[in-house]
Amino acid sequence: MIVSIAVYYRIIRPLLKSIGGIFLFCLVSCSVEKYIPEGEALYTGAELETEVLTDDKIDDFKKVKTELNTLMQPKPNSSFLGMRLGLYFHYKAQREHPGFLNKWLNKKIGEEPVYFSDTNIQRIEDLILNRLDNRGFFYSDVASEIDSTAKYAKVKYTASLPKPYTLEQYQLEKDSLPIYNAIAETLAESPIKKGSRFDLTLMKFERERIDNSLKQKGYYNFNPDFLIFEADTNQYDNRKFDLYLRLKKQVPQKSVIPYVIDSITVYPTYSIADTIQRAVPVTEGNIQFVQDEEFFKPKRLAPYILIDKGQRYNAQLARLTSNRLSAIGSYKYVNIQFNEKDTTAVKEGPGLLNAELYLSPLTKRSLRTELQAVTKSNGFAGPGISVAYSNRNLFKGGETLSIVGNFSYATQLSGGNSQNLSSIGGGLKTDLTIPRLIPFSPRSFKYAVPKTKVGLGVDFLNRSKLYTLTSFNTSFGYTWNANRFVYHTLNPISVNYVNLTNTTEEFDAILDKNPYLKQSFEQQFIAGLNYTFTYNELVDEDKTHPIFISTSLDVAGNTLNLVSGSKNTVFGLEYAQYARADVDLRYYLRWAKEQALISRVYAGWGIPYGNSNTLPFIKQFFSGGPYSVRAFKIRSLGPGTFTSESEDDRTTFFDQSGNLSLEANLEYRFPIWSYLKGALFADAGNVWLTYEPEVSDDETPEGIAFNDRLREEGKFGKDWAKQLGVGVGFGLRVDIQSFVIRLDLASPVRVPYLPEGERGRIPFFDGGPNNFVFNFAIGYPF
Which of 481, 504, 519 delimits the end of a domain?
Answer: 481
The residue among 349 and 36 whose pLDDT is bigger is 36
**332 and 289 part of one domain:** yes
Residue 86: the pLDDT is: 86
User: Picking from 78-87, 442-451, 503-512, which range would have the lowest pLDDT averaged per residue?
Assistant: 442-451
User: Picking from 319-333, 375-389, 428-442, 621-635, which range would have the lowest pLDDT averaged per residue?
Assistant: 375-389
What residues make up the domain containing 467? 363-481
**314 and 372 part of one domain:** no
Question: Phi-psi bin for 181: left (phi > 0), alpha (psi -120 to 50), beta?
Answer: alpha
* Residue 23 pLDDT > 50: no
pLDDT tens per residue, range 156-211: 999 999 999 999 999 999 888 889 999 999 999 999 999 999 999 999 999 999 99
For residue 640, tell me if it sits in a domain: no
For residue 264, tell me if it sits in a domain: yes
- Global pTM reads 0.76
Q: What is the mean pLDDT of residues 359-368?
A: 92
* Residue 20 pLDDT > 50: no
**285 and 369 part of one domain:** no
Residue 444: the pLDDT is: 64
**380 and 346 part of one domain:** no
- Find out whether the peptide bond into 361 is cis, omega within 30 degrees of 0: no
Q: What is the mean pLDDT of residues 583-611?
A: 92
Residue 158: the pLDDT is: 95
What b/e string do you get for 165-184 counting C-beta neighbours within 10 Å, with b at 16 or more? bbbbebebeeeeeebbebbe
Q: Give the CB-side neighbour count of residue 729, counting CA atoms within 13 A.
A: 26
d(CA 59, CA 202): 13
Amino acid found at 670: F
**199 and 138 part of one domain:** no
Write the CA distances from 766 to 495, 522, 683, 687, 763, integer angstroms.
47, 41, 18, 24, 6
- Say if residues 716 and 754 touch (Cβ distance below 8 Å): no
**294 and 356 part of one domain:** yes
Quote the number of domains for the chain. 4
d(CA 322, CA 307): 10
Residue 137: the pLDDT is: 94
- Say if residues 307 and 322 touch (Cβ distance below 8 Å): no
Q: Residue 313: which of 286, 345, 359, 351 has the closest Cα? A: 351
- Say if residues 357 and 267 touch (Cβ distance below 8 Å): yes
The residue among 338 and 25 whose pLDDT is bigger is 338
- pLDDT bin (cut points 50, 70, 90) of residue 774 is confident
Residue 654: the pLDDT is: 56
pLDDT tens per residue, range 733-764: 998 877 888 999 999 999 999 888 888 888 88
* Residue 419 pLDDT > 80: no
3 state DSSP class of 369: strand
Which of 433, 455, 481 delimits the end of a domain?
Answer: 481
- pLDDT bin (cut points 50, 70, 90) of residue 100 is confident
The mean pLDDT of the chain is 85
pLDDT tens per residue, range 710-738: 788 888 989 999 999 999 999 999 988 77
* Residue 84 pLDDT > 50: yes
**46 and 159 part of one domain:** yes
**152 and 203 part of one domain:** no
**216 and 287 part of one domain:** no
For residue 98, tell me if it sits in a domain: no
Residue 224: the pLDDT is: 95
- pLDDT bin (cut points 50, 70, 90) of residue 154 is very high
What is the share, in percent, of the chain residues with pLDDT greater than 70? 87
Q: What is the mean pLDDT of residues 399-427?
A: 78
**171 and 149 part of one domain:** no
- pLDDT bin (cut points 50, 70, 90) of residue 47 is very high
- pLDDT bin (cut points 50, 70, 90) of residue 697 is low
- Say if residues 340 and 352 touch (Cβ distance below 8 Å): yes
- pLDDT bin (cut points 50, 70, 90) of residue 695 is low
Residue 509: the pLDDT is: 79
For residue 184, tell me if it sits in a domain: yes
Which of 317, 339, 361 delimits the end of a domain?
Answer: 361
d(CA 363, CA 365): 6
Q: Cβ neighbours of residue 38 under 8 Å, at least 6 residues apart?
A: none
Residue 650: the pLDDT is: 41
**137 and 71 part of one domain:** yes
* Residue 487 pLDDT > 90: yes
The residue among 12 and 304 whose pLDDT is bigger is 304
Residue 2: the pLDDT is: 39
d(CA 625, CA 656): 13
**123 and 144 part of one domain:** yes
The residue among 140 and 384 whose pLDDT is bigger is 140
pLDDT tens per residue, range 605-624: 999 988 888 888 888 898 99
Residue 437: the pLDDT is: 83
Q: What is the mean pLDDT of residues 689-718?
A: 76
For residue 89, tell me if it sits in a domain: no
Give the CATH number, domain containing residue 233: 3.10.20.310
Write the CA distances from 687 to 166, 342, 520, 605, 626, integer angstroms.
59, 71, 16, 10, 16
* Residue 460 pLDDT > 50: yes
Residue 416: the pLDDT is: 45
d(CA 43, CA 66): 21
- pLDDT bin (cut points 50, 70, 90) of residue 514 is confident
pLDDT tens per residue, range 196-247: 999 999 999 999 999 999 999 999 999 999 999 999 998 888 899 999 999 9
The residue among 567 and 472 whose pLDDT is bigger is 472
Radius of gyration of the chain (CA): 35
Element (H or E) spanning 423, and its range?
strand 422-434
* Residue 345 pLDDT > 70: no
For residue 188, tell me if it sits in a domain: yes
For residue 545, tell me if it sits in a domain: no
* Residue 155 pLDDT > 80: yes
Residue 164: the pLDDT is: 93
The residue among 520 and 722 whose pLDDT is bigger is 722
For residue 333, tell me if it sits in a domain: yes
